[in-house]
Amino acid sequence: VASAGKIVEEAITAEFAKRGIAVGDPDADLIIAYLLIRQGSSATSMDVGHFGAGRDAEAILEEAHQKGVIDKHSSDALETGAVVIDLLDVQTNKLVSRTFAKRALVDGISESARRQMIDSAVAEALAPFFN
């Protein structure tokens, strides 16, 4: 079973490849960073392993928690997952684009369904950048 991070990386690579852009090119103009957020009815957590140090991950987590847990007007116990994708200028390390997508997390789904869900979230998150 592939980790969510590995599937996200594969999905990002595939979305760029659809547009003829190679990920991992040493002469690239952009750095791709992503953050995974998991949220339940009372807690929000994140995986920052591919987001980069010294960036505003805590602020993103705090905003997600405020909107998804504290301000939530529903009593649903549904868990959600989100991917936040940042594209940074390789020369200046400045943010070029920040996009995100979220999905309901479903326990016990097949590996194939899980991959499809992550692929669609990554495609949704990157769509504004490509448009």
Per-residue pLDDT tens digits for 92-114: 989 899 989 989 888 889 999 99
What integer pLDDT is reported at residue 116 of this predicted model?
96
Query: For the whole model, what pTM was predicted?
Result: 0.85
**CA-to-CA dists, residue 46 to 16, 19, 24, 38, angstroms:** 24, 29, 24, 6
Quick count: other Cβ atoms within 10 Å of Cβ 65? 18
Task: Give 27-41 pLDDT, tens digit per residue.
Answer: 889 999 999 988 887
pLDDT per residue as tens digits for the range 24-75: 888 889 999 999 988 887 788 888 888 877 678 888 888 887 776 667 655 5
